[in-house]
Amino acid sequence: MTLKIYNTLTRKKETFRPIREGEIGLYVCGITVYDYCHIGHARVLVAFDAITRYLRSQDWQVNYVRNITDIDDKILNRAAENNEDYTKLTARMINAMHEDERALAVLEPDSEPRATGHIDNIINMIQNLVDNHYAYRADNGDIYYRVKRFPDYGKLTNINLDELLSGARVEPDEAKEDPRDFALWKAAAEDETGWDSPLGRGRPGWHIECSAMSTSTLGETFDIHGGGPDLPFPHHENEIAQSEAATGKTFVHYWMHAGAVRVDDEKMSKSLNNFFTIREVLKKYHPEVVRFFLLSSHYRSPINYSEDNLIEARQGLERFYQALRDFSDVALLNDDELKQSSWYKRFTEAMNDDFNTREAFAAMYDLVRELNTAAREQRSDARHLAAQLKGLGALLGLLDADPETFLQGGGTLGQSASDGLSEQQIEILITEREAAKTAKDYARADELREQLQGLGVILEDSREGTRWRRE
């Protein structure tokens, strides 16, 4: 089955053709670690995690590289504000990032290079660019990329160099030959953070670290480069200019960019200061609800982070776990068994079409209905349907929790204690209600049920007894 991927470079959905048969080199721009990750980071992390999991399930050998930018002006400024060494700040933020990733079931990439671990590669690449006149050393000691010398500049985002110049936003800098040039190496004084090198003492500018890390881990030309919605310009445009000038080869075949996360229908940005960190979000919502929410739109569409939409995601996920409730013990199918399934076929058709997770969900919801019907009729295929549902969920990193635990957790974590009702207390009230029901004292039974409902506990009666879940 052919895999189609929307390529930012061509602005078209294209049939994916790997450089080497069966293999995919994937580089995703990771985090600049000067603060906690926010919900926008979460989207990129979760989207490429789901994509990578899916590709591997289709027998692609994926080499997934996601970098950490751990040296940068924002980091140095923040460290100075905190009056701490910048490596202390980045170490703390990297730990926090890893915690957030684990919570969201984001698997580790195959490698996670850090800018400070690639200083030699960065220096070599800049030296190469200087030697070939793609870069020059300015009077202030900074080294800039000579944008004019790279004729393809702007091919990713279709910008016109002259118009870029007329845009007043380009910062005029006396040291530059041309205001459009950007820094590769920033000169550093002895008492500033920097590395000694043939380029002079300094530190890398933003952009060059990704060119160095990606080409040194995946080769001068690789398959897919991904990132957030604000990266095509200037970051990826500059990466192309640096890398292709340095190697003389095509840098990347497919460019993938996630859509923006909005907050209550407002643009989310650092300057508006309206972003939510992942850890704040996880205080309100179960991590799988957040993951499900992020995957419930196509990865390229804008998505709106709001109370309503998160509640909706929770309800959707609850539908899956309700269906799996009586099948928590079913074993996962092996690959061959799963691939026999017609549901699997529909699911993969959706995913092979530029990773259409929402369409894949539609197939899973239809499977849920079939499963519920089978279970109601006590059909023998119910267990197999449940196993297929879990199998499809696993391809996206979903539905791995114990259904009862998920439903009784009520879509958030750790709220049972603050609710004032322990599981034991709930069970006691349910037993009391059972007694009232047996005695046909329905008024008392309803009173108990309403009491529990007021505390966020929903009861569900069945022939086998009463189950409960939190809203």
- 157 near RNA (CB under 7 A): yes
Out of 309, 328, 408, 415, point to the residue binding RNA (CB under 7 A).
309
The angle formed by the CA atoms of residues 450, 455 and 461, to the nearest 5 degrees, is 50
106: left (phi over 0), alpha (psi -120 to 50) or beta: beta
Minimum Å distance from CB 8 to RNA? Answer: 7
Q: Which of 2, 83, 271, 418 binds RNA (CB under 7 A)?
A: 271
The angle formed by the CA atoms of residues 117, 121 and 127, to the nearest 5 degrees, is 140
Angstrom distance (rounded) from CA 293 to CA 275: 17
Among 53, 118, 225, 298, binds RNA (CB under 7 A): 298
Q: Pinpoint the alpha helices (H) of 329-410.
A: 335-339, 342-352, 357-376, 382-395, 403-409
Q: According to CB under 7 A, which one of 23, 340, 358, 428 is a site residue for RNA?
A: 358
Candidates 139, 163, 174, 190: give the one binding RNA (CB under 7 A): 163
The window from 15-23, 395-403, 423-431, 458-466 that contacts RNA (CB under 7 A) reads 458-466
Contacts of 161 (CB under 8 A, 6+ apart): 147, 148, 153, 154, 180
Of 18, 141, 302, 456, the residue at the interface with RNA (CB under 7 A) is: 302
Minimum distance of RNA from residue 25's CB (angstroms): 19
Per CB under 7 A, the segment of 84-92, 141-149, 163-171, 338-346 that binds RNA is 163-171
158 binds RNA (CB under 7 A): yes
Name the one range near RNA by CB under 7 A: 53-61, 388-396, 412-420, 456-464.
456-464
**Smallest separation (angstroms) from RNA to the CB of 57:** 20
Q: Which residue, 337 or 365, has its beta carbon nearer to RNA? A: 365
Residues 51-110 that bind RNA (CB under 7 A): 72, 74
Task: Tell me the window of 130-138, 246-254, 263-271, 330-338 that interacts with RNA (CB under 7 A).
Answer: 263-271
Least CB distance to RNA at residue 459 (A): 5
Question: Using CA atoms in the order 32, 33, 39, 42, what is the torsion angle rounded to 10 degrees?
Answer: 80
Q: Binding to RNA by residue 170, rule CB under 7 A?
A: yes
Quick one: 253 or 298, whose CB is closer to RNA? 298
Which residue, 353 or 419, is less far from RNA as judged by CB? 353
Closest C-alpha among 194, 189, 210 to residue 29? 210
Cα(79)–Cα(89) distance, rounded to whole angstroms? 6
Stretch of 93-101, 183-191, 335-343, 362-370 contacting RNA, by CB under 7 A = 362-370
Label residue 223 exposed, middle or buried (CB < 10 Å: 0-12, 13-18, 19+): buried
> Of 104, 96, 41, 470, nearest to 290 (Cα)?
104
Residue 173 CA, distance from chain mean position:
36
CB 312 within 8 A of CB 337: no
Our finding on whether 445 is near RNA (CB under 7 A) is yes
Query: Does residue 442 touch RNA according to CB under 7 A?
Result: yes
Residues between 371 and 430 with contacts to RNA, criterion CB under 7 A = 372-373, 376
By CB under 7 A, name the one of 2, 11, 15, 22 that touches RNA. 11
Q: Which of 109, 194, 232, 391 binds RNA (CB under 7 A)?
A: 232
Q: Please give the residues from 199 up to 228 whose contact with RNA meets the rule CB under 7 A.
A: 206, 227-228
Euclidean distance between CA atoms 379 and 367, whole angstroms = 15
Place of tokens 């994926």: 62
Give me the least distance between CB of 350 and RNA, in Å please.
7
**Rounded to 5°, angle at Cα 368 from 406 and 55:** 80
43 in Cβ contact with 294 (< 8 Å): yes
Stretch that binds RNA, among 52-60, 246-254, 282-290, 455-463 (CB under 7 A): 455-463
Which residues, other chains included, contact 209 with Cβ-Cβ below 8 Å and sequence gap of 6+? 67, 69, 71, 115, 118, 122
- Residue 280 touching RNA (CB under 7 A): no
Task: Give strand pairing partners of 9.
Answer: none
